[in-house]
Structure 1
Amino acid sequence: MSTQPLPHLRGGQALRATRVALEHEPVAEEQSTGVPASTAALELGTLAGAEFGIWEMSVGSMYDVEAEEVFIVLAGAGTVVIAPFEGRPAHTAELCPGTVMRLSAGMHTTWTVTETLRKIYFTPTEEHGSNS
């Protein structure tokens, strides 16, 4: 995943997150499902112990092992399949603009995007670790 440098978002600064140009890189081989996809990310800053930014995935599919995260889908469509986790059965979440979702550290997921997906994410910084 490519993370592009940008001055952190400052107090009072506005950004149209759906219009920011992102530079995609192909999904890493170990995350490939055999259906080509690419991702891009742009860190925007930190707030109260959480990093936040923009993440985007092209049409395609990929595997991932998640970090602790809350995200809001801004654009696009797809699904994320979450493998059985902490005694809960596998399930699928539909993703579309307005979806708010929490992922837990260690979840194994399969992302399938049918329309380029862009989200705003919030995740604990390393020094703050993860909370359940």
Structure 2
Amino acid sequence: MLKPDHSLAWNNMVILLDNTGNQDQAELIGREALKLLPNDHTIMFSLANVLGKLQKYKESESFFLHALEINPNAASCHGNLAVLYHRWGKLELAKKHYELSLKLDPEAPGTRDNYNMLRRKLDQLKHSTP
């Protein structure tokens, strides 16, 4: 309220609510923040993560992609979009974004493990199909 254009405060609120299991409230705050800061890719990223947890995959994807339009070299955004696609069953898109994330940041936390898990799943699917 004191400084409505303070992006970091909004983003931290979304993350705090998300981390404490209050995804519905995190979604509301994220949407409110984007009314005031419509091109803030960090808030889009955090809101996309919340929406993914709420299984609002299409909307989550939209926010991730918009954030990547603004900041295309954000390894964490590619990595989290890959996780969304992985959960959503869009495995080839997941593979693409895991690879982009790892290209941008080979040390991205958790990304290599998730990518390897996806590759094993893709191998199993390839070998189980006649």
Judge same fold: TM > 0.5, yes or no. no
Q: Which has the higher strand share?
A: 1
Q: Which has the higher helix share?
A: 2
Larger Rg, first or second structure (1 or 2): 2
Provide the TM-score with structure 1 as the length reference: 0.29
